[in-house]
Each structure stands twice: as structure tokens, then as C-alpha cells.
Chain A
Amino acid sequence: EAQVTQNPRYLITVTGKKLTVTCSQNMNHEYMSWYRQDPGLGLRQIYYSMNVEVTDKGDVPEGYKVSRKEKRNFPLILESPSPNQTSLYFCASRTGGKQYFGPGTRLTVT
């Protein structure tokens, strides 16, 4: 089944403790992206990647890092999480005009 998977789905952590949210797609898509969703703000793009080793900042990249060493994986790294990064995070991959979204990761930073 074609899908985008994210892990973990739920995470509660403390300020400053480094964490990684993994994202994987099995559709051989070149384009992948990370978004955060906050009430009243919709989705905002954090980073995107056109292909392996090609990444670029979206609208809200501060406090986040990404890497794209393989086509199928696009992890989101929070080196020093802060409470304002509490949010719902979505990974997506794209082919042509259609983005496929993962199920989301709900992150709480205390």
C-alpha cells in the first residue's frame, strides 16, 4: 500500500532534549516536506526536499533541522526543543501535483 509513515505518532518530551521524528515513504517520490499545524494558523511548511541531499527552508524553519540521505526517508530533527514547538507535525511526499500526507505526529514539549 502506498503510504507515508511517521514515528512516533505521539511524543511528550522536555525542553532541550534532542528528538527526531522519522518520515518514510514507499512511493519513490523525489519531493518530501515537513509541516506543522497549529490552531488558527493552518499548516506551515518547515522544510522541503526536492531530492536526496537537496533541502531548503520553508516558512518556519527556525529550531528544526532535516536531512535527506535516502530518497525514502526525511527525518525532522529538533536539536533543543522548546515549548513553542508543541504542535502537530505532518510529513508529506509528492508526485506531480499531489501531496500524500502522513498521519501526523503530535509533539508536546514541556
Chain B
Amino acid sequence: AQSVTQPDIHITVSEGASLELRCNYSYGATPYLFWYVQSPGQGLQLLLKYFSGDTLVQGIKGFEAEFKRSQSSFNLRKPSVHWSDAAEYFCAVGKSSNTGNQFYFGTGTSLTVIP
């Protein structure tokens, strides 16, 4: 069975500090990997995705993520956090099937940014 684990339920960082959100997945084949952000009362917005190729992917809002197959991880990073980054972050895995794509989301990491 496929699963996505985000071990940190909540993280607090100071504005300007670096950030790393962890994501581990369990999937038997090459995964499609995603990070989404959800601001309060909003839908989800795609930050970045990995399908193949360069294992370091750049996304919007200054985020990047690195795919490490040996560790089954896809951690999200940002070198300097802004107060507007406070939100809920979800890692997701996409699986292809004959009838389309199933997506599995982690339980999310809530980010608080303090001045």
C-alpha cells in the first residue's frame, strides 16, 4: 500500500530562518511527488513537483525540494522564511493506474512563523 508520512505535525520558525519540512513515502515504483501549501480557509496550491530527472526541484515562492530515492524522502526547504509562509504544507504521491492517477497525501505540517 502506498503511504506518505510527514513526521512533524507542527513546526515553528523565526522569520528569516531556514526551513525544512520532512516527507517520506512508501511506494513500489518511481513516484510522482508533490508539495502543496494551504493557507487558512483556502484550497491547495501546488508548490513544486518531481516526476523524473534532476532530483533537486525548484518551486514557487522560493521553495525547493530534493528527491532522495535511497531514503524514500522528498523534503521541502526554504533558505529564508517569510511571515507569509505560515500555512499548512502537504506532501503527496501520485500513482498511475490503468484508469488514471491516484493521489495520496500526508497528514500535513502546520508552519508557524514568529517575528
Spell out A's residues near B (CB within 8 Å).
4, 31, 33, 35, 40-45, 48-50, 54, 56, 58-59, 90, 92, 94, 97-99, 101-104
Query: Chain B binding site: helix, strand, loop or mixed by DSSP?
Result: strand
Partner of B106, one of A42, A45, A99: A42
Query: Chain A binding site: helix, strand, loop or mixed by DSSP?
Result: strand
Inter-subunit contact B101/A48 (CB<8 Å) = yes
For this complex, 13 residue pairs linking A to B, each with C-beta atoms less than 8 Å apart, are A31-B100, A42-B4, A42-B6, A42-B105, A43-B90, A45-B104, A48-B102, A56-B97, A90-B44, A97-B49, A99-B44, A103-B43, A104-B43
Q: How many residues of B sit at the interface, in one of the four size bands?
A: 20 to 34
**Chain A residues, CB < 8 A from B102:** 45, 48, 58-59
Partner of A101, one of B4, B6, B44, B108: B44
Which chain B residue has the least Cβ–Cβ distance from A4? B43
